[in-house]
Each structure stands twice: as C-alpha cells, then as structure tokens.
Structure 1
Amino acid sequence: MINQYTKEFQYNLKLAAPVMMGMIGHTLVALVDNIMVGQLGTAELAAVSLGNSFMFIAMSLGIGFSTAITPLVAEADGENNFESGKSSFKHGLFLCTTLGILLFLIILLAKPLMYFMQQPVEVVELAMPYLDLVAFSLIPLIIFQAFKQFSDGLSMTKYPMYATLIANVVNVILNYLLIFGKFGFPQMGIVGAAVGTLASRFVMVIFLWILLKKNNKSTAYVTKIKLFVLENKMLKKIIALGFPSALQMFFEVAIFTAAIWLSGILGKNPQAANQIALNLSSMTFMVAMGLSVAAMVRVGNQKGLQKFKDLRRIAQSIFLLSFLIATVFALIFILCNQLLPKIYLDVDDVENLVDNSEVISIAAKLLIIAALFQVSDAVQVTVLGALRGLQDVKIPTLITFFAYWIIGFPISYYLGLYTEYKSSGIWIGLLAGLTASALLLYLRFNKLTKELINKN
C-alpha cells in the first residue's frame, strides 16, 4: 500500500531538488548577509532584520503572484499546447515586471514608518540606507521569478538553480569586499551587503534568460516576446490566479514579519535572536518550497491529462515526503539548538559578550519551537502547491488568512508582549497558525480531489 506513494519519491526529488537548491540559494543571500553583518555587532544585525522585514512583505507579494505562471505553463505543457504556454509566460512576465516596479516605489514611500514602530533608534538609522538599495533589487528579483516559474512549469527546474548559485557567488564576493573594505574597496558596512544583493539579482535574471534562450525546448518561448501586445482575457486569468496566490504568501510572510516587529519592541537582542531563528527556519522551509513547486507542476500536468486518481496519489506522495524530511530537520534543530546560533555571532568578542550571550540564549529557545513547526510548515506549503496546481486559489486564501491572522497573530501578540514568554510566546503563535493552516488546507485538498475522481 505504502509503495504506491514511495515509488514516486525518486522522481519527486529529481524534480524538486533543483528548486530546493534555488530557493535555498535565495535564502543563502540573506544567510551570508546575516553572518557577515553579524560580525559588525547586534545593532547592525537587527538593522538588516528590520530592513528585510519590509522586503519580505514585498517579496511575498511578488513571488506569490509569479506562481500563477507555473500551473498554467505546466497544464499547457501536459496538453502540448505551445501557444497557450507562451501566452501564459508573456502575460505573466509583463505583470511581474509591473509589480516589481510598483513594490519598489511602495517600499520607498513606506520607509518613514520605521520611526513609528517603536524600534530602537540606532537600528532604524542603520536600516534606512540599507533598505534603499535592497528595495530596488525587487525589480530584477520579481522579473527573475517570472522566468523561474515559467521554467519550473516546463519541468526545467535546474536552470533557475544554476542562476541562483551564480548569483550567490557574486553576492559573497561583493559582501566580503564592500562590508569590510577589502583589497582597496570602500568599507561600507551593511550598505555594502545591500550593494552585493542588488548586483547579484541582476546577474541572476540575465544568466537565467541566457540559459533558457540556448535550450531548444524553451528558446521559442523566451525570444521574440511582444511584451506589450496583450490580451485582456489572459491578463485577467493570471491576475485571478496570481492575486490570491500573492495574498496566501503575504499572509504567511506577514505574520513572520510581525514577529520581527514584535521582537523589536522587546529590544535589539530579542530582535537579533528572532532574526537568527527565522533565517535558520527559512533555510529548511525552502526545501518544503521545492516540494511545493513539484506538487504544483505534477498536479498541473495530471490535471491537463485528466488523470485525477494519479493526481491525488502523486500529491499525497509529495506530502509524505515533505513530512519525513521536515521531521529530520526538526530533530536537527532540537539537537543543535545551542550550537546553530553561534554561527551568526563573534563569540570571542569580549566587548559585546553580554549582548551576544543573550542573543544566543533566546535564539536557542526559539529553535525548539521552530523544530515543532517544521512539520506543520512543510505540510501546509506542499498542500498549497498542490491546490495551486488544481488552480484552486480563492478558498485557500481565506484559509491562510484565518489560520495566521485570526488564530496565530493574536496568540503571538498576547504571549509576546503581555506574558513572561516574550520571544518564545511570539513563536508559539507562529506554531499555532501554521498547524491550523496545514490541517485546513489538507481537508480542502482531500475534498476537491475526491470530487474530481467521483465526477470522472
């Protein structure tokens, strides 16, 4: 019985592994920034955390919206319909480019809000110039996402991974040169980290386009794109899929961003500790995101083929695989909760010994809670991918809002600010929201697939 699910593991991993690597690559940019900036001090690390909290919200909308491209391209690929696939990509690229520019402008206008959020003044002043450059990097990042989601839809998941890995090399080199002022370059501190991020994202989108242009399967899609020759019907179709998908990702990312702001109210050390635990959790979450894309692509293909029994079985095999991998990550977090935070800080820095020790102590507690929500987080995001493959986005959007903002956030707010749990209380709320989301989304998937099988 179990074999009907486990036999899909190899292909699922083959499809998902490059996506995982690419997604982890995105997070590695933040990891490298955090580790290098952490050497400057806890205030600098908290500033990057605060600046990136604005970015996370904008990125969630852009990346979430771009996921509309994948199921449409995957379904067209399953039907062997080139014209439909190219139209989906072209309209998606236009909308993602427009959205990237719009989000950049919104962040610039929203920057002064940092002064009204009860954050440490020293942290806000460091975050301001950092955010200017990182915000501009949203434009190439979301354009890249359009190309990436298209590539994933054709089951060509390796190319975005290659582009992301190249971008990471560029980011690490520029960070080293510009944060610390090596080899005659100016010492720019956290602004140097922002320059590295911006440059690496331009490299990423250019490199991916070159790879897709050279491949026989994708070259006709990514060349001779009449970007401003648009059809209202296809624009509406992508917006109808993309907008709810953007909201789904926004609701989840926003609650983690709220955790950053709530931690900032508690002080710079709780905020720095929150950033460490969040960054580590993000790394493992990207593995689940890879499986989510695999679910979206494979469900989209089976939908195009009208094979609904196989669709359900394949999706459930991905859920099982995601559950097993998340359990391994949970054990690692529990066993290494004291060790992992030390990667981010200079433990030999006598001058900042008290601050660093407090940050490590708080982060270690948060990692225990993070271990508990590894499974919930992994399951909810893979089920969400399968539902996107079915092009079911409206009800899941309501589910994610309810789980994170009606259940999760009030718990985080109350336990974090009004009880002795403080930082741990904030993360208990995250755990509650993710668990509710996983359960409700799975019930939705179960209902829909049974209906499709019965109708067929």
Structure 2
Amino acid sequence: MNLRQYTSEFKANLKLASPVMLGMLGHTFVGLVDNIMVGQLGTAELAAVSLGNSFIFVAMSLGIGFSTAITPLVAEADAANDPKRAKSAFKHGLFLCSALGIALFLMTLLAKPLMYHMEQPEEVVALAIPYLELVAFSLFPLIVFQGIKQFSDGLSLTKYPMYATLLANIVNIALNYALIFGKFGLPQMGIVGAAVGTLVSRFVMWFYLWWLLRGKEKSKALVTNIKLFVLDLSMIKKILSLGFPSAMQMFFEVGIFTAAIWLSGVLGKNPQAANQIALNMASMTFMVAMGLSVTAMIRVGNQKGFKNYKDLRRIAFSIFFLTTIFEVIFALFFLAFHQILPTLYVDMGDAMNLADNTEVVSIAAKLLLAAAIFQISDGLQVVALGALRGLQDVMIPTVLTFISYWAIGFPVSYYLGLKAGYGSFGIWIGLLAGLTAAGILLFWRFNYLTNKLIREHHGTT
C-alpha cells in the first residue's frame, strides 16, 4: 500500500475540516463551561441539566440529522456548477428545517411529563422541568441555523458557521456566568440562567451566519430573494428521501447515549452526574470526528458530481486514516488523565458535599476508561456515515445503525448496567459494543459500494 496517496490529501482534508471542528468544539466547549458552572451548584443541579438535555439531544438529533441532506445536494450542484439547483436545495431545506424546528419544540414540551415516570430522582426532575421549558424553545433557531450551516458546508464555505458558532459561544458564556450566579446586577437564576444563555446565543448564531453568507460573493445570490413558500415538490421529496433516513441514523446513535443518561438516573443522582461528565468529555473529542465526517460528506459529494469514483474512494480512505490518528491520540489522553479530568466539574473543596462529589469523580474516571476504548470505533462510524451521505446512500446505513445501537448496544447496556450489577461502567460497555458494531458495518458498506461503483464506471477494482 502506498501511504503517500492517502497522506497527500491530509492538507486538503484539514483545510475543510478545521473550521468545522473548531466551530463544533467551540459549541461543545460551551457545554463544558455550562457543566463546570452548574457543577459548582451541586450534583443534583448537574444531574438536572443532564436529564433536561437528554430530551433536547433526542430532538436535536432528528433536526441535525435531517439537515445533513442539504450538504451533499449542494456539494454535487456546486461541483456541477449549477447555482439554480444549489439555491433550490437551500430554499427547500430551509423551509423544511423551519417546520421541523417548530415541530420538535412542541414535541419536546409534550414529552415533558415523561420525566415523572422514568424513575429519576425527584429533586433532579423538579430542577430539570423549568430548564427544559426554555431550552426546548431554542430548538427552533438551532435547527434553522443547522439548515443554513449545511448549505454553507456544501459550498465548502466551512469558515462561516465556525465564526457564527464562536460568537454564539461568547454570548452564551457571558450570559451563563451572569445569570447562573447573579453577576453584574442581574438576578441569580441557577440552571434556568444557563437555559436563557443557550436560547439567546442560538438566535445570535442563526442571524449572524445568514448575515455573513449574504455578504459573500459565492453565496449572496443563493441566500437572498428567497420565495420560501413557492415550493417544488420534486426537491422536497429529494430532501425528505435523504433527510428522513439521516435523521433516523443520528436519532439511533444519540438515542443510545440518551438511554445511558436515563439508565444512570435509575442508579441515582451521582451516577447520572458522573455520566454527564464523561459524556461531555467524550463529546469534545467526538466533534473532531464530526468535522472530518462533514469533510467526507463534502469531498465525496464533489467527486460524485465529477463521477470520479477512484479518487472518491482514495480521498475517503485518506479521511478514515486521518480520523484514526486523531482518535488514537484522544484515547491515550483519556487513559492518561481519566482520574484528573472529572475533578474539573465539581468543587472538591466543598466539605458539605464532599462524599457526593468524591463518588461522582470516582465513577466518571471509570467511564472515561470506557470512552478511551471506544474512541476509534466512534470516529470511524461517524466518518463512514458522512462518506455514505456524500454518496447519497442513506437507507441501508439507517438499518445498520439501528442494528448496531439497539439490537446490540442497548441490550448490553441494560443487562450489564442494571441486571449484572456493573452499574455505570456496564452501561458504557454497551455503548462501546454499539459503536464498534456501527464502525465495522458502515465501513463495510462504504467499501462495498465504492468497489461496485469503480467496477461499473472504470471496469476495475
């Protein structure tokens, strides 16, 4: 194997991926800061944010997954130099994302009473309800932003969503600090203050990204003079045919992590708080893989537009290779610092809550060991999924993700976590099993499809 044919693509991959990574890491960094700030209030507050966000994550997974349908359509149109089709994909994607954002907000509010029937700690539910009510409304600006972001990514303008996300992060951190703790003469609102910060920052993010694209020559004509309610049924069907399976893929994956939050809540507030810490740390590294997944979607979508399937496969494999390098580094980082990282989230100097905080840190340290082990499979599955979306192959991957997470991962989590007595660590072994199965199956699917395309169009493998 000639490594040079893969490593030569690293520079182009990173050029596209870096802004996406930084934007996503910035967004997750706000979650880190939120959790650290809320963790100072107590383990019940940290567990409440975890429980409230678990409902939001499920809704977000559907919205974000659906919006990814826009990127390969725009990337293919961009490669074919067809601005009319790119604008149509943007307009119809924006319309559908707006409708979905409203629907997800209403669905989340309707699902709120489920908290009382999930065997979660009562004090945690009481804190989580008002937090959820505000953050649920932020789903609308978030999903609309996501639609515009996917369009921008499809044009390879990955820097602009990064700028919007970073500005939103600054707004969020400032508002959180002021409202959680009652600084600068503002009321002390606790975790509801964190919800207000999230809501305001997501509107800022949406409007700023649209303003940036409106001023860019490549995108100005595509994002202005939009007749949002003059619709083409064929384009709506195309986006739905790609978007619905993509939404289900992300829903199945996020769903198993949400199930881990709920299963941890059955074990008590401290396991739930520890789960939130480990999940937040794993999310930070996952955002790097997400950036590479978007790169795979864009570059595979472009090569599909050029009908150059040999280069398509080579470029995709270069992204898989680069992802593996990153994930090995992250795995070693978690192994080296698994006992230190959880102490960032709780106040170990708080004598009154020392027993709770010590237990949370101990559980979270073990979970970070499991997170270290699944880094490679987690990275590989999301990048393979991005490459498959670039090929506009979505139905079979949806079935494969369901099998991986719900036929394999969840039963292992449930049995080891609640029945076999392994607690939180058993729950995370189930996550490891599901992610590993997904990584293997999705890579197999991409390998099979690209070999088939090369045979059909080039006559060789």
On the 8 A contact 1:151/1:157 being kept in 2, the answer is yes
Deviation at 1:186? 0.2
On the 8 A contact 1:29/1:197 being kept in 2, the answer is no
Measure the CA separation in 2 of the matches of 1:241 and 1:26.
Answer: 26
Measure the CA separation in 1 of the matches of 2:143 and 2:108.
Answer: 15
Measure the CA separation in 1 of the matches of 2:232 and 2:218.
Answer: 24
CA offsets, 1:376-422, max 9 Å, x none? 00000000000000000000000000000000000000000012311
The amino acid across from 1:391 in the alignment is: Q
2:6 pairs with 1:5:
yes
2:302 pairs with 1:301:
yes
Partner of 1:277: 278
Measure the CA separation in 2 of the matches of 1:218 and 1:36.
Answer: 39
Deviation at 1:183? 1.5
Secondary structure at 2:218's aligned position in 1? coil
Measure the CA separation in 2 of the matches of 1:26 and 1:68.
Answer: 21
On the 8 A contact 1:384/1:396 being kept in 2, the answer is yes
Partner of 1:245: 246
Measure the CA separation in 1 of the matches of 2:201 and 2:278.
Answer: 25
Partner of 1:92: 93
CA offsets, 1:251-274, max 9 Å, x none? 000000000000000000000000
Secondary structure at 1:217's aligned position in 2? helix
Partner of 1:433: 434
The amino acid across from 1:433 in the alignment is: G
Stretch moving more, 31-40 or 156-165? 31-40
Measure the CA separation in 1 of the matches of 2:161 and 2:100.
Answer: 20
Secondary structure at 1:218's aligned position in 2? helix
Partner of 1:70: 71
Secondary structure at 1:302's aligned position in 2? helix
On the 8 A contact 1:212/1:219 being kept in 2, the answer is yes
CA offsets, 1:300-326, max 9 Å, x none? 000000000000000000000001100
Deviation at 1:118? 0.1
2:127 pairs with 1:122:
no
Deviation at 1:25? 2.1
Deviation at 1:206? 0.6
Partner of 2:374: 373
Deviation at 1:236? 0.4
Partner of 1:166: 167
Measure the CA separation in 1 of the matches of 2:238 and 2:53.
Answer: 31
2:317 pairs with 1:287:
no
Residues 184-333 of structure 1: pairs in structure 2 closer than 5 A: 184-333=185-334
The amino acid across from 2:420 in the alignment is: T
Measure the CA separation in 2 of the matches of 1:319 and 1:325.
Answer: 10
Partner of 2:392: 391
Partner of 2:410: 409
Partner of 1:400: 401
Q: TM-score, normalised by structure 2?
A: 0.99
2:439 pairs with 1:424:
no
Measure the CA separation in 1 of the matches of 2:222 and 2:114.
Answer: 42
Measure the CA separation in 2 of the matches of 1:429 and 1:320.
Answer: 26
The amino acid across from 2:316 in the alignment is: A
Deviation at 1:143? 0.4
Deviation at 1:24? 1.3
The amino acid across from 2:398 in the alignment is: T
Measure the CA separation in 2 of the matches of 1:340 and 1:191.
Answer: 26
Measure the CA separation in 1 of the matches of 2:346 and 2:26.
Answer: 21
Deviation at 1:60? 0.3
Measure the CA separation in 2 of the matches of 1:338 and 1:145.
Answer: 35
CA offsets, 1:108-145, max 9 Å, x none? 00000000000000000000000011000000000000
Partner of 1:44: 45
Measure the CA separation in 2 of the matches of 1:384 and 1:196.
Answer: 32
Deviation at 1:33? 1.2
Deviation at 1:26? 2.2
Measure the CA separation in 2 of the matches of 1:329 and 1:263.
Answer: 24
Partner of 2:20: 19
Measure the CA separation in 2 of the matches of 1:199 and 1:228.
Answer: 27
The amino acid across from 2:138 in the alignment is: S
The percent identity for this pair of structures is: 72
Partner of 2:180: 179
Measure the CA separation in 2 of the matches of 1:174 and 1:26.
Answer: 15
Secondary structure at 2:434's aligned position in 1? helix
Measure the CA separation in 2 of the matches of 1:413 and 1:318.
Answer: 34
Deviation at 1:102? 0.1
Measure the CA separation in 1 of the matches of 2:456 and 2:419.
Answer: 52
Measure the CA separation in 1 of the matches of 2:329 and 2:30.
Answer: 24
- Over aligned residues, Cα RMSD in angstroms? 0.5
Deviation at 1:213? 0.3
Measure the CA separation in 1 of the matches of 2:181 and 2:53.
Answer: 20
Measure the CA separation in 2 of the matches of 1:10 and 1:352.
Answer: 49
Measure the CA separation in 2 of the matches of 1:87 and 1:289.
Answer: 26
Measure the CA separation in 2 of the matches of 1:182 and 1:23.
Answer: 28
Secondary structure at 2:374's aligned position in 1? helix
Partner of 2:106: 105
Secondary structure at 1:187's aligned position in 2? coil
The amino acid across from 1:424 in the alignment is: F
Measure the CA separation in 1 of the matches of 2:63 and 2:324.
Answer: 27
On the 8 A contact 1:42/1:268 being kept in 2, the answer is yes
CA offsets, 1:42-98, max 9 Å, x none? 000000000000000000000000000000000000000000000001000000000
Deviation at 1:29? 2.4
Partner of 1:348: 349
On the 8 A contact 1:148/1:160 being kept in 2, the answer is yes
The amino acid across from 1:445 in the alignment is: F
2:353 pairs with 1:361:
no
Measure the CA separation in 1 of the matches of 2:302 and 2:423.
Answer: 46
The amino acid across from 2:413 in the alignment is: S
